[in-house]
Amino acid sequence: MPASGSLGIALGKGDGTFLTQEYVGIGNGAGQIILTNVHGQPATAGLPDIVAPDGSGAVVVLINNTAQQ
């Protein structure tokens, strides 16, 4: 069971199934979650990163480091 103030992420295996969901703390009272490419590296261009306010006035940025195939 996830802790309050966490975001569950299930990575795709590329075959239509997913790995076991993992949870990342983003704080209580987090707002809208945005998926966008924020760092623009060529290897991950077009792949979304996760950006979310953490409820304390800060922002959590989870960089997508998966490789395109």
Query: Hey, what's the torsion of the CAs at 55, 48, 25, 33, to 10 degrees?
Result: 30
CA atoms within 13 A of residue 67's CA, in its CB half-sphere? 1
Which residues have a Cβ under 8 Å from the Cβ of 60 and sit 6 or more positions away?
24, 26, 27, 30, 50, 51, 52, 53, 54
Residues of the chain with pLDDT under 50: none
pTM of the model: 0.63
What are the tokens at 55?
Answer: 């409820």
> What per-residue confidence (pLDDT) applies to 6?
79
Q: What is the pLDDT of residues 9-19, one digit of tens each?
A: 888 888 989 99
